[in-house]
Structure 1
Amino acid sequence: MAFRLKIVPEVTHINFFRWQWLTFGLSAVLMVASVIVTLTMGLNFGIDFRGGTTIRAESNTAFDVGEYRQVLGGLDLGDVAITEVFDPTFGPDRHVAQIRIGTTSETGSVTPEELNIIEAALKEVDPAVRFTAVESVGPKVSNELIMTAFKAVGAATIAILIYIWLRFEWQFAIGAVVALVHDVLLTIGLFSLFQIRFDLTTIAALLTILGYSVNDTVVVFDRLRENLIKYKTTPLIDLMNLTVNETLSRTVMTAVTTAIALIALIVLGGDVIRGFVFAMLWGVTVGCYSTIYVAKNIVLWTGVKRDWSKKPVEDGAARFRDAP
């Protein structure tokens, strides 16, 4: 007999509504707290949103990104991000690095004096390095990026609301969107509380969290609709408990396998993608919680259509048969 790993038993009888007011109340408090923390402490915006300078450095010899980061870290330049650029058209003697340096100056760019200091510091570890392009992003452009990023998150949420509404009923749509807002607010609040760098990769993580969370919610809602057809007289609260128990194994297994990959990335992936992976790991956790304890509670309180079977089409002449 083949061995199968079971994190959750095949049949469970957990009462997820036993502490519904406590769990939902905790979620509401955390959402409000996230908004307050974000408004008071603000976000630690990265170079994409704060402005800065992007330097394209090329060398004939292979370089170590770690050495570049260590050298520039001692210059007290602020936020520095270094990535190696890979291109199949590059020859064996062409190595390119992209260096992004944030700044707090009003111009939003690195001064020529600072640029000379940076070049001299890099030449100490790589004498062949040279700067082929220097571009600056000012605060005005950064503010436009912030607005565009949050509009993207809002547009995705509205699109999901419309999809769930058309796919199920408006009660399901409201439950799904409240769960999505819960996930996004808690993620942003955590980034604000610990002042984790918030940049375009974090926005990408937020959009990915929306997709992951709504996928998990739709699976539960789809099973709930099947059970609504199957058990027409069962109380709605019992039917929802049955639905979550039936899909619990799938929910936990999906979350665990995703978390394993994300933990590997956060440990081995390096500093460049650490913020993105951390947001994803946190989003997977709160996404599972919101699917079980937020979305279904909204559906329970707003009520839902119990008989999903199609009504037979009434014969046009039948309405006149009993007429006097």
Structure 2
Amino acid sequence: MGKFSRLGNDLYTGRKSVDFVGKTRVWYAISGLIIIAAVLGLYFKGLNFGLEFRGGAQFTVSMPANEATQDNADQLRDDVAGTGIAAAQQVVVTTAGKNSIIVETEPVTPAEGNQISTTIQQSVGVTKADISTDEIGPSWGKEVAKRSAIGLVVFLVLVTLMIWGYFRQWKMSVAAMVALSHDLLITVGIYALSGFEVTPATVTGVLTILGFSLYDTVVVFDKVRENTKNLRSTHQTYAEAANLAVNQTLVRSINTSIVALIPVGAILYVGAVQLGSGPLKDLALALFVGMAAGAYSSIFIATPLLAHLKSLEPDVQELEKRVKARRRHQVDPYAQVPVYTDDMPVAAEAPLTGDREEQTAAARSGGARPQPNTDATGRGRVVPPSRGPVRPSSSSGRAQPSRKSKSKRGKK
């Protein structure tokens, strides 16, 4: 943990840095492959909607301890399908813990329901009191889907306006919404590939991950705003300041994601392995996939996309040019000093030679006086203008004092 803490401190101060923003194409390619797999799963397998959405009959069979095995579930599936009832041909049989098995069929009539109940009693040796029957109409599932869609749209609109108003930058709202759509598509694709049923608990989990995904993204964006507030004084480009913000929040994002994923993973294991069926595993799978995708998108998608959108602004491009010019000067401060050539104009020769005798001779002969170069030669430096030509000094004909030894000083 000590090394991890030192790494976090180095990332925060900038002594160490991971180039998240500079490798945008790599992260886009990885996300593109994941999204393609999710879309293919949706296209070829589709979502396995639960009984609450498609409607039907559900028979819950209570059994003695440890008898709700997969062998009994397979036996029930074959026996119920063998009744010849059309609604029972696509029967779904799953275990629910160690004491019950759930049998799901299409909507059936009361007579067909009694026939299926009798078949279950004969198949696994239970009584009629051990079987509970629930009839669910598809209209309830449609109402749940409709209200969930309305809630999702309202949520997205309000969050977009909130991010826009808080950060005062619509490009942050766009980047956050793209990252959120990325998380939702991956979560839905994982559901299609895994074959888990889509139940109202799944919808609850999907709506929950929206807030978690945006929470992590907003934290990173807040640090980006702090780092880019005074870019001129920090001598950084917008992309570098944004990348520093991601590095500064990296350890925090990893820690919070791990802390959140551990209990959700435990719930997923209990719901899928121990219980076998029920809303617990549906909720946990949506939360687990959505949280993992949200942590990934806030680091690898949202901030790089924001930096890319900001790089199209003229002010950001101009700042980037100034920063690069400053760094070139820092590497070689004499890179802009002109090099002497034979065809250089006379006005530029005298300042380059540095020979004062030639300048004096040119002035005495009445030749053209070379003018000093007043262009800036370095960072923040401006050559002062000349006050006049250099003339011969009146003291040039006088006898100049000579240095005498100490013993002869004061003697004539």
CA distance in 2, matches of 1:264, 1:56: 26
CA distance in 1, matches of 2:67, 2:153: 40
- Matched with 1:159 is 158
Q: Any idea what the Cα deviations from partners look like across 1:254-308, whole Å, max 9, x if unmatched? A: 111122212222333432322332232222221111111111122112228999x
Distance 1:268 1:134, change over 3 A: closer
Q: Any idea what the Cα deviations from partners look like across 1:202-239, whole Å, max 9, x if unmatched? A: 21221121111111001101111111224445211000
Q: Any idea what the Cα deviations from partners look like across 1:62-101, whole Å, max 9, x if unmatched? A: 975x6457555531141447589xxxxxxxxxxxx99864
What letter matches 1:286 in structure 2?
A
1:163-178 map, 5 Å: 163-168=162-167, 169-178=169-178
The secondary structure found in structure 1 opposite 2:207 is: helix
What letter matches 1:20 in structure 2?
T
- Matched with 1:179 is 179
Q: Any idea what the Cα deviations from partners look like across 1:115-152, whole Å, max 9, x if unmatched? A: 2334566763xx69456x74312334434433433443
- Matched with 1:188 is 188
1:226-305 map, 5 Å: 226-232=226-232, 233-269=235-271, 270=274, 271=276, 272=278, 273-303=280-310
1:131-146 map, 5 Å: 134-146=133-145
Matched, 1:78 2:83: no
The answer (yes or no) to whether the contact 2:94–2:101 under 8 Å persists in 1 is yes
Distance 1:101 1:39, change over 3 A: same
Q: Any idea what the Cα deviations from partners look like across 1:151-207, whole Å, max 9, x if unmatched? A: 433333333222212222211111111101000001111221232222222212211
The answer (yes or no) to whether the contact 2:8–2:248 under 8 Å persists in 1 is no
- How much has 1:23 moved relative to structure 2? 1.1
What letter matches 1:18 in structure 2?
G
The secondary structure found in structure 1 opposite 2:10 is: coil
- Matched with 1:203 is 203
Q: Percent identity?
A: 25
Answer with 1 or 2: which has the greater Rg. Answer: 2
- How much has 1:24 moved relative to structure 2? 1.5
Q: 1:22 aligns with which of 10, 20, 26?
A: 26
- Matched with 1:310 is none
CA distance in 2, matches of 1:106, 1:288: 45
Greater relative contact order (Cα 8 A, min sep 6): structure 1 or 2? 1
- Matched with 1:315 is none
1:95-134 map, 5 Å: 101-104=103-106, 111-118=113-120, 124=126, 129=129, 134=133
CA distance in 1, matches of 2:109, 2:309: 52
The answer (yes or no) to whether the contact 1:201–1:276 under 8 Å persists in 2 is yes
Matched, 1:11 2:10: yes
- How much has 1:251 moved relative to structure 2? 0.2
The answer (yes or no) to whether the contact 1:157–1:180 under 8 Å persists in 2 is no
Structure 1 residues without counterparts, runs of 5 or longer: 85-96, 308-324
The secondary structure found in structure 2 opposite 1:136 is: strand
The secondary structure found in structure 2 opposite 1:135 is: strand
Distance 1:99 1:156, change over 3 A: farther
TM, length-normalised to structure 1: 0.74
What letter matches 1:167 in structure 2?
Y
- How much has 1:35 moved relative to structure 2? 3.2
Distance 1:200 1:98, change over 3 A: farther
The secondary structure found in structure 1 opposite 2:57 is: strand
Distance 1:253 1:179, change over 3 A: same
What letter matches 2:48 in structure 1?
N
CA distance in 2, matches of 1:294, 1:198: 27
The secondary structure found in structure 1 opposite 2:22 is: coil
CA-based RMSD of the aligned residues comes to 3.6
TM, length-normalised to structure 2: 0.59
The answer (yes or no) to whether the contact 1:108–1:139 under 8 Å persists in 2 is no
CA distance in 2, matches of 1:255, 1:52: 39
- Matched with 2:148 is 149
CA distance in 1, matches of 2:117, 2:186: 39
CA distance in 1, matches of 2:128, 2:198: 34
